[in-house]
Homo-oligomer: A and B are copies of this chain.
Amino acid sequence: MSRTKPFVILSNPEIAEVRKEFRSAISQHKTILVVGNCWVHYRGRANSKLEPGERILMIKEDGSLLIHRPVGYDPVNWQPPGCVFHIQITGGLLKVHAVRQKPAESVKVFFDKVHMFSAWSLEDSGEFSLYASEEDMQKAILMRPDFLEEGFEPISYEKKVEPGFVDVYGTDRDGNLVVVEIKRKTATSEAVLQLAKYVEAIKSRANRQVRGILVAPNIAKGVQTLLASLGLEFKALDPKKCASILERGKAAKLETFFV
C-alpha cells in the first residue's frame, strides 16, 4: 500500500462490520462508497419512497449524499453538504440516516445486503477551468434569451448586414428591433463603434425603433460614456458563466416536469 492513500474496501461484508467501518469513516470525514440492496425514505420539501433494488450510495467528506441507480445520470435521492449521519443496525438491516436542519430534511437508507463498503481519503485540489468563447456567449443567449433581458426574442444570429455579421438579432417585449454585439473581454470603444455601425445599417432599412446592446463581462468608464452618447446599451455577462450554462444545459429543463 506504499504507493496509495489509506483506504478500506470490504467485499461482501457482514452488516456489523460495515457499521463499525462506516462510523469510523464518517468520524474521519472520508468519502464513502457502498454498493448493495437498499430502499430509501425521504421526508423534507417533498416526500418520496424508493422500493428495494441494488444501488450505489456515495457520501462525501463535506456531508453530501447521493444514491445512484444503475441507469440515469441523475441521482435518485440526494442531499447537499452538511448532513449529520446516524449509522445503526435495526432488525438485521443497516440503517443510514442523513439529517439536515435547514430546511428540515431526512433521508433514510436501509440495506439488507452490502456487496461492498469502501472508504477513501481523497486528495483533490486540482483546478477546474471552463473556457468560454464569444460563440459560447452567443449560444447561451440563444438558449436563454431572458439572460439578455426579459421578453427578448432572437430572430437570427450571424445576420449579414453591410458592415459584417450581427452576433444576435431579435425583438424586445415592446416590438423594437435589438442588435446584440458580444465580446468575451472588457468592452472597448472599437466594439462600441462596431455596434453603432450595425445599428445604423439596420435603422436605415427598418421602420421600427432599433436598440443596440453590447454584451461583455465588463466595460471601462470612458467606453460607457461613448456608448451612452451613441444611445447604445450595455449588458454585463460573464463568459465562463455562459459556458457553465451550456454545460448544464444538457440536464433536463425544469419546464419538462410540468404539464
A residues bordering B, Cβ < 8 Å?
Answer: 1, 3-5, 7, 9, 11-12, 31, 33, 35, 39, 42, 44-56, 58, 60-62, 64-66, 68-73, 75-76, 78-81, 113, 115-116, 118, 120, 122-132, 136, 139, 144, 147, 217, 236-238, 241-250, 254, 257-259
Contact = CB atoms under 8 A, between A and B. Distances in A.
Closest 8 CB pairs of A and B: A53-B124, A51-B126, A46-B243, A53-B126, A54-B122, A64-B73, A45-B246, A70-B122
A39 to B, nearest CB: 7
15 contacts: A9-B11, A33-B33, A46-B131, A47-B131, A49-B129, A50-B127, A51-B127, A51-B128, A51-B129, A55-B124, A60-B73, A61-B70, A64-B72, A73-B80, A237-B258
Contact of A5 (B76, B79, B115): B115
Given A4-B12, A62-B71, A132-B46, A258 B243 contact: no
B259 A128 contact: no
B259 A254 contact: no
A121 B136 CA distance: 39
A52 B212 CA distance: 43
- Copy tally for this chain in the complex stands at 2
A166 to B, nearest CB: 22
B68 A72 contact: no
A249 to B, nearest CB: 6
Q: Interface of chain A, helix or strand or loop or mixed?
A: mixed
Nearest to A9: B11
Given A73-B66, A254-B245, A122 B51 contact: no
A187 to B, nearest CB: 13
A111 B259 CA distance: 44
A237 B259 CA distance: 6
A76 B124 CA distance: 12
A144 B39 contact: no
A219 to B, nearest CB: 12
Contact of A45 (B60, B64, B249): B249
Contacts of A236: 259
Contact of A238 (B71, B118, B249, B258): B258
A122 B132 CA distance: 39
Given A33-B56, A66-B68, A237-B258, 10 more contacts: A4-B12, A33-B35, A45-B246, A46-B244, A48-B130, A49-B128, A53-B126, A70-B124, A73-B81, A78-B250
